[in-house]
Structure 1
Amino acid sequence: MDYVLSTLTTRFLSASRTLCKRDWAGGQTYNNAFARLYWIDSGEGVVYHHRRKFPLRPGRLYVIPAHTSSRYFSFGAMDLFWAHFTAQVLGGLDLFAFLGCDYQAPAPDHAAMRRTWDRVLETLREGSPAGELERDGLLRQMLSRFVAGADAGQLRRTRQLERFGEVFAFIEARLAGPITLAELAEVAHLQPTYFSNLFSRHMRMPPLRYVSRRRVERAQGLLWQSDAPLKEIARAVGFDDVSYFSRVFRKVAGVSPGRFRRQKTLPVP
């Protein structure tokens, strides 16, 4: 676990305070290339993701991992503090997907948490290098609550996944080109069938399906960050056929590449 966290990189993208009205977000499904962190100052709402319902109430922090399909509602007025960020380990894996920890964490000291969020927003207004560093520290401080809440089973899974560190790094470096099961097994110093079974047991999907997922997640980042043509983005993540890329993208992300890109303009925290 210590090794995994030593590779953690965080990137703070944006934050604000939003007074949400009734039926906030209208139940529409969203899927973004960044993670979302929520804290409710007052009011109540609900978010659905990972086939679960998470009531949004004061007294807890909530995270929605990157590349996650989610739906939102509020019940009347809700005072929401939010941040968009990325948190990756082992060269590109989403921290929360890797940890498999819960997506809510206790924040019982309401006044202290309000001061933390107020300071986050102050550093954004200041726009100084020192403020940027402080803001990253405040983000990590809040994220630590989720890591602290991981149970023993989740931590055991994390330790088991550390053995695939070189495999993950190999995949991240080769997403623009072909990747075979034999190559991954060689990196892991294991026989291909044994490697595939071991990887599938710990990652809950076969190695090449994981590669396809990472290609789509990389494409999501490119779609969000640039206006490059779809054909160019497809090639950048290892797809020569745009139609096939679109089919795989929809299967993994739940929406088409075009719809995913249009979500950049939707006013949802």
Structure 2
Amino acid sequence: MNTSSFPLVTEKDLQLPLYLTSIGHWESQERTRRPAGFPDFQWLQVLSGTGELRIGDRLFTVKPGQGFFLFPREQHLYNPVTEPWDVHWIAFNGSLITPLLRQVGISQSGVHQVFAPDNLIMQMKNLYATSISGHPFLGMECSKQLYAFLLDLTRSIWMSATSSSPDPMKLHPVTQYIEENCHRPVTIAELADRIGVSSQYLCHLFKITLNMRPMEYVNRERIHKSKEWMFREPTLKIQEIAARVGFDNPSYFSSVFRKLEGVSPERFKKSHGM
């Protein structure tokens, strides 16, 4: 069934970092030509059939399991090749979109393979239902669901970017091991052994997946644990906290804490009433 919704966008909604402008579904998407582009960002997810997308001199084929981003005010044309071309679409805007897309290297309109497209379509259906629900805080509710959808969408695109992309869940045994053992000295080789890879490949996995080195992650976990100790036992001295979370040198602990939190451990405790 063809559906479309154009929820009311108030002046207050326009101040949200993300807001929904339209959403819908075409069982048989027709030829669409926009010489002046479209005012908002769009994502179109293909359920079945095949289509073509033309953006300037670039021509793409769009198949099931794929979708395409359209950036605002960019001339484009898309049309079915194998009918029916079943397409779910969503249009949105806001200041948070560009940083979200930049995380997965998307800076222009184009076609992308996605991981678990059925999940994305289900989220779009849920968002459509919300958009016509008459919710008293419709803009905020749609913004909340749109944020979750875009996070899942960008993750799905990243996971499907190339066949050689590492599985982000491969690091789970390592991060779990760090959480359980960061109170004592740990080495990169020790962490690499948890998943049977070399130290060099572990560093590569961390860089690709989390954009940091393994020992950076260890220190972040230690600082996280130190804040838990501050709340759990407010009378502990800073040097005692440092020792409990795996820092031999209290000065180094304070330096890392300040770098990550922007304040010293002492100031952090005071600002939280400890």
Q: Which has the higher helix share?
A: 1
Please give the range of the TM-score, normalised by the shorter of the 2 chains: 0.3 to 0.5
Tell which has more relative contact order, 1 or 2 (C-alpha 8 A, sep 6+).
Answer: 1
Q: Which has the larger radius of gyration?
A: 2
Query: What TM-score do you get using the length of structure 2 for normalisation?
Result: 0.45
